[in-house]
């Protein structure tokens, strides 16, 4: 099977530029620098490359939003915040193949006419940030970054910018505020970053994996990349499988690989011979799926048809014996903690839900609590600046919707219906 990203990740030296170049690295950049920028954007459009950061926006279309003519400098920002619970794929790229990302950055920046790129990496990733710095240094020394890259006349500087612990800085406008030295509180859109991004200038924001796919697309063409996945969700995906499975890890597979087979074949099935209860297919912010709903292709369209979202492709596996009230309570504590507080429905709503869920879990639930939660959810949808609010609503509504009997039982009997596996 054709691998776009992880083909050489088993080689320890692949993180160093000599080994990367030996295996064909930076030839896509050479090729791109001889191409017309419109042609590059056209290939990315043809590739059906969907953003890997969670929202799945078509990358080529987003690149097309960047203004051609502007009196301002343009910027590229790489989203390496990787904070969505259940997501741990970008770190693998930065640790095992940082030059894939750097080559992708150089091509992307050339295509949209940016001369400065910031890689916004979450503050906790101290070691990955150091690896990136080393790789960037190497790329400067070899002339793949800096002034007049490979004699093309194109200049590019790349800087690592470290976050400092805040999920909301993964949201692109929160990230922009954070780079500017503010609290990472999101901005109302429009204007979109392509119009007004960092330092008031047009900015392209893409996820690490999205950018790391670019060298392959340039090397082999957009059609070849798309053919690896589905028509609307091209290429391979880094599926990150975690939770109660035998072989957790990151698996690079064609977009549209069957979700059940990712869990049972690639990840070795459920730990301790337990039975599967539920799956969260794309990071904690997407609707949960029941065990009998997962026999579907894991591409964006198919998972949406099945009532959830592919999100970051961070697949969390939940076995029977885990109390869904407890699990939702753990999830809601996260959103309540991470709400940036700018919008009342989100700030108050996540906190209310957290408190109600903790009460139910403690055996102090009351009749009407679930209706109250669902009512709070209604008030949080479509009324806020960013999507964190909906990210909290989706697990709440789906957990209660699909495991209602566990919640009712908890309120009535003051204990778990299915909770022998204490978490």
Ligand X SMILES: Cc1cc2nc3c(=O)[nH]c(=O)nc-3n(C[C@H](O)[C@H](O)[C@H](O)COP(=O)(O)O)c2cc1C
Pick 170 or 215: Cβ nearer another protein? 170
With H, G, I as helix, E, B as strand and everything else as coil, classify residue 289: strand
- Per CB under 6 A, 106 contacts ligand X: no
CA distances to 244, 262, 281, 419 from 278, rounded to whole Å, are: 11, 14, 9, 14
- Per CB under 6 A, 83 contacts ligand X: yes
Exposed, middle or buried by CB within 10 Å (0-12, 13-18, 19+), for 142?
middle
- Per CB under 8 A, 265 contacts another protein: no
- Per CB under 6 A, 79 contacts ligand X: yes
The footprint of ligand SF4 (CB under 6 A) covers 168, 186, 339-343, 346-347, 384-386, 388-389
Q: Residues 379, 420: contact at Cβ < 8 Å? A: no
Q: Residues 204, 66: contact at Cβ < 8 Å? A: yes
- Per CB under 8 A, 250 contacts another protein: yes
Partners of 240 in the β-ladder: 250, 314
Instruction: Tell me the H-state helices in 34-120.
Output: 37-46, 59-64, 90-96, 98-112
Report, in Å, the least distance between residue 286 CB and another protein. 12
E-assigned strands of 213-292? Answer: 236-243, 249-254, 276-280, 289-290
- Per CB under 6 A, 240 contacts ligand X: no
Site for another protein in 61-90 (CB under 8 A): 73, 82-88, 90
- Per CB under 8 A, 330 contacts another protein: yes
- Per CB under 8 A, 295 contacts another protein: no
**Out of ligand SF4, ligand X, another protein, none, which partner does residue 172 contact, by CB within 5 to 8 A per kind?**
ligand X
- Per CB under 6 A, 299 contacts ligand X: no
Element (H, E) at 207: strand 203-207
79 vs 103: CA distance, rounded Å? 15
Residue 419 burial (CB count, 10 A)? 18
Pick 28 or 241: Cβ nearer another protein? 241
- Per CB under 6 A, 237 contacts ligand X: no
Structure tokens at 411: 């309120």
**Out of another protein, ligand X, ligand SF4, none, which partner does residue 293 contact, by CB within 5 to 8 A per kind?**
none
- Per CB under 8 A, 314 contacts another protein: yes
Binding another protein by CB under 8 A: which of 165, 190, 272, 273? 165
**Out of another protein, ligand SF4, ligand X, none, which partner does residue 97 contact, by CB within 5 to 8 A per kind?**
none
Give DSSP secondary structure letters for 96-156: H-HHHHHHHHHHHHHHHT-SEEEEEE-TT-HHHHHHHHHHHHHHHHTTSSBSSGGGSS--B
Report, in Å, the least distance between residue 185 CB and ligand SF4. 6
- Per CB under 8 A, 308 contacts another protein: no
- Per CB under 8 A, 123 contacts another protein: yes
Report, in Å, the least distance between residue 167 CB and ligand SF4. 9
């Amino acid at each position: 099977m054709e691998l776009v990203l992880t083909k050489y990740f088993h080689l320890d030296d692949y993180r160093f530029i000599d080994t990367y170049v030996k295996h064909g690295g930076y030839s896509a950049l050479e090729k791109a620098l001889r191409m017309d920028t419109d042609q590059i954007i056209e290939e990315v459009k043809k590739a059906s490359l969907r953003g890997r950061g969670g929202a799945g926006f078509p990358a080529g279309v987003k690149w097309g939003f960047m203004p051609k003519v502007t009196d301002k400098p343009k910027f590229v920002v790489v989203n390496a915040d990787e904070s969505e619970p259940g997501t741990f794929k970008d770190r693998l790229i930065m640790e095992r193949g940082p030059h894939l990302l750097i080559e992708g950055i150089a091509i992307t920046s050339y295509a949209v006419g940016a001369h400065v790129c910031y890689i916004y990496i979450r503050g906790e990733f101290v070691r990955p940030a150091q690896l990136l710095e080393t790789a960037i240094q190497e790329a400067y020394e070899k002339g793949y970054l800096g002034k007049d890259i490979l004699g093309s006349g194109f200049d590019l500087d790349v800087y690592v910018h470290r976050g400092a612990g805040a999920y909301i800085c993964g949201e692109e406008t929160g990230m922009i505020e954070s780079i500017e030295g503010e609290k990472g509180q999101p901005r109302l859109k429009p204007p979109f970053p392509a119009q007004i991004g960092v330092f008031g200038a047009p900015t392209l924001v893409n996820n690490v994996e999205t950018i790391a796919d670019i060298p392959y697309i340039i090397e082999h063409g957009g059609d070849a990349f798309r053919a690896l996945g589905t028509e609307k969700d091209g290429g391979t995906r880094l599926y990150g499988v975690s939770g109660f499975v035998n072989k957790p890890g990151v698996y690079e597979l064609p977009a549209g690989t069957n979700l059940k087979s990712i869990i049972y074949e690639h990840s070795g099935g459920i730990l301790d011979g337990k039975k599967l209860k539920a799956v969260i297919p794309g990071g904690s912010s997407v609707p949960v799926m029941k065990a009998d709903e997962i026999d579907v292709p894991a591409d964006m369209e198919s998972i949406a048809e099945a009532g959830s979202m592919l999100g970051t492709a961070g697949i969390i596996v939940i076995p029977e014996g885990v109390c869904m009230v407890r699990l939702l309570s753990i999830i809601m504590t996260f959103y309540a903690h991470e709400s940036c507080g700018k919008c009342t429905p989100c700030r108050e709503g996540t906190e209310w839900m957290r408190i109600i869920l903790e009460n139910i879990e403690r055996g102090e639930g009351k009749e009407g609590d679930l209706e109250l939660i669902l009512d709070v959810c209604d008030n949080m949808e479509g009324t806020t600046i960013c999507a964190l609010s909906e990210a909290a609503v989706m697990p709440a509504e789906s957990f209660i919707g699909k495991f209602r009997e566990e919640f009712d039982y908890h309120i009535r009997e003051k204990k778990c219906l299915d909770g022998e596996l204490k978490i």
